[in-house]
A and B are shown apart, each in its own frame.
Chain A
């Protein structure tokens, strides 16, 4: 009886242990290594329909559904394409899990400028042979500066879909009420002065930025990029961490941000560091805030909801007064093919169709700025955004590119450490220097 009791107890403990640990397990031990195809695209017609997974359906974009439908229609006799909605909040987890499982999607959504960590892990397919086949026929369909955003060590891994960068949307009516002129270029000090005037005269919060999708990290990222440019630091040195993070021009950035938040310029005062994207946008649309930080691709949606005079303004510079040196950089939504995709040639065929002028025109007609040539843009707001992006560089230094832990710290923790935990600027920079090692 006693023995039976002991055996039962052991079984129960083992099962408890197992059940708790189940959550931590990963699946099979994939040991595949990435190999780029040696030859150019030579897709053959399969005997039966190949099943492909396209992880690039962006429902937040009004063009997303229609573009995916057009792609499915185009290959309806050849491929069975499963369109998967992009989960922006968990995108990195989704991509990594998918690739690690050994059964990834055939195409993944990811920003071409932020592919380095996947390339370092040999997770991306080298698209260069496909792009350069037939004397670069496919390559020449892209806007060169945009295509270069996905180029690493001379090889192309990511393809840009549309120009999408950080922008400030301004309520021009509130600016007018506060007696502040709409700037075409401005410094951080001018931004603070404008914020003061807006708060006092228009009696609304000057600025809102969401913590969701890590938008709030733009503040320290652009600040540091901007001041490092002024200090003569090379952009690649900032992006690889070969800089002295304890230098005064970096701690000054944090001081600026801390002071700005302490002055209650960030909506809604208490709770400013944890604003949801919808809340931030709603506050701006309702006229409770004068400036909203968002991505440029939301221009059409925001313009549709705004009942006031809406305008786009550049990011303020903490370094030199120049839009080219304000730390904001040209960025793009884009796609890449995982190195262990089951059907790489078919994946590339999908990409070629997706980036065709016919499908990209759907994107442009919905108010997004595509990165391929031969697509006409009629929307004046989008044209203005394209003009602003023209003054930007996609190679601006960015500390989040140093490694995944730095990215995590900037994205989720830095502003909380600075404004909520009241950790000193110097200590935060020491932590950043430690992470950069």
Chain B
């Protein structure tokens, strides 16, 4: 009897679980999985967005790997994503360590301040930095002038040496808050005895961080890195707002080029193939990152 009742309870729980999951699952399948499959199929076709589709099989992919410009845009995407992720994770960790050290009251204020860039819409962040980096009236050039370094004044978003790096900096500024919040929460979970034992052994705060904290919260750092990496690979808004992929095509990334290829050149199939290749690169990158941050799980 008891066995039966327990089984029926399990079934009830299962049904309840599915009821909660179904709306989200339906939405994800409708809005993500179906379009992804349709996009994958489209990558083997030629379509101008209006007339009938024509099967071209691997022609789009061959074109992709033969097109030096598109490969350069893929490199730009990878460069932007990895550098932004590296910067955001390192700075986020640094900020988390600082916030943890300065205590709870001031720390909560600092957390809010450091997290604000991530909450501001991408378009606003982009415009803000376009103004800051403006060669004529921008804050940066005027500040350099003020401290006697006017020779370093530059058209930051026009110079091929600085344009992409400026976008990387803005990306880091926007994304480091996430790593900070996640890492800070993980550090707070650590028992005080761990810090105390290290202190007794003569280890300072830096030593505590590198010998105890970072190894223990490695999985959390990994999660933050994967999230940041995936978000950076998809980056469209910040590039579009700051440079539109220019000047010329210096800062053009695959997402920007996909939109251009599909909607300006009417090559939807080719654009879809770019999406598929980028997705594969993202998946491989995520697997590599997972491997890098994987390892022992500490119990305390």
Taking CB as reference atom, which chain B residue is nearest A414? Answer: B248
Q: Are B248 and A16 within 8 A (Cβ)?
A: no
| Interfacial chain A residues near B265, Cβ < 8 Å | 404-405, 408
| Interfacial chain B residues near A268, Cβ < 8 Å | 135-136
Which of A17, A33, A408 neighbours the largest number of chain B CB atoms within 10 Å of its CB?
Answer: A17
| Interfacial chain A residues near B12, Cβ < 8 Å | none
Q: Are B51 and A417 within 8 A (Cβ)?
A: no
Taking CB as reference atom, which chain A residue is nearest B255? Answer: A23
A234 interfacial contact with B, CB 8 Å: no
Number of A interface residues in the complex (CB < 8 A):
48
**One of A24-32, A360-368, A374-382 contacting the partner:** A24-32
A114 to B263, CA, bound (A): 16
Q: Are B248 and A25 within 8 A (Cβ)?
A: no
Cross-interface CB contact of A18 among B32, B260, B266, cutoff 8 Å: B32
Give the contacts of B11-62 with A (CB-CB under 8 A): 28, 31-33, 35-36, 38-40, 42, 47-53
A432 to B28, CA, bound (A): 44
Which of A29, A93, A408, A417 neighbours the largest number of chain B CB atoms within 10 Å of its CB?
Answer: A29
Taking CB as reference atom, which chain A residue is nearest B263? Answer: A93
| Interfacial chain A residues near B268, Cβ < 8 Å | 26, 100
A2 interfacial contact with B, CB 8 Å: no
Give the contacts of A21-45 with B (CB-CB under 8 A): 21-26, 29-33
Q: Are A99 and B50 within 8 A (Cβ)?
A: yes
Q: Are A420 and B160 within 8 A (Cβ)?
A: yes
| Interfacial chain A residues near B282, Cβ < 8 Å | 16-17, 20
Q: Are A17 and B36 within 8 A (Cβ)?
A: yes
Q: Are A24 and B266 within 8 A (Cβ)?
A: no
Q: Are A270 and B266 within 8 A (Cβ)?
A: no
B115 interfacial contact with A, CB 8 Å: no
Taking CB as reference atom, which chain B residue is nearest A117? Answer: B266
A270 to B282, CA, bound (A): 36
What's the A-B contact tally at a CB cutoff of 8 Å?
Answer: 162
Which of A22, A273, A407 neighbours the largest number of chain B CB atoms within 10 Å of its CB?
Answer: A22
Give the contacts of B135-161 with A (CB-CB under 8 A): 135-136, 153-155, 157-160
Known A121-B51, A271-B136: A20·B250 in contact at CB below 8 Å: no
A218 to B22, CA, bound (A): 55
| Interfacial chain A residues near B259, Cβ < 8 Å | 93
Taking CB as reference atom, which chain B residue is nearest A29? Answer: B53
A271 to B141, CA, bound (A): 12
Bitwise, A311-342 to B at CB < 8 A (1) or not (0) is 00000000000000000000000000000100
Q: Are A97 and B263 within 8 A (Cβ)?
A: yes
| Interfacial chain B residues near A408, Cβ < 8 Å | 260, 264-265
| Interfacial chain B residues near A19, Cβ < 8 Å | 32, 36, 230
Q: Are B51 and A31 within 8 A (Cβ)?
A: yes
23 contacts between A and B (CB under 8 A): A15-B28, A17-B36, A17-B283, A18-B36, A21-B40, A22-B32, A23-B255, A24-B262, A26-B38, A26-B47, A92-B264, A93-B259, A97-B263, A121-B48, A121-B266, A268-B136, A270-B158, A340-B50, A404-B266, A412-B248, A416-B248, A416-B249, A421-B160
Q: Which 8 A-B pairs have the closest CB atoms?
A: A24-B275, A416-B248, A271-B155, A100-B49, A25-B35, A271-B135, A18-B36, A93-B263
Residues of A within 8 A of B (CB): 13-26, 29-33, 92-93, 96-97, 99-100, 117, 121-123, 211, 268, 270-271, 273-274, 279, 283, 340, 404-405, 407-408, 412-413, 416-417, 420-421
Residues of B within 8 A of A (CB): 28, 31-33, 35-36, 38-40, 42, 47-53, 134-136, 153-155, 157-160, 230, 233-234, 236, 243-250, 255, 258-260, 262-266, 268, 271-272, 274-276, 278-279, 282-283, 286
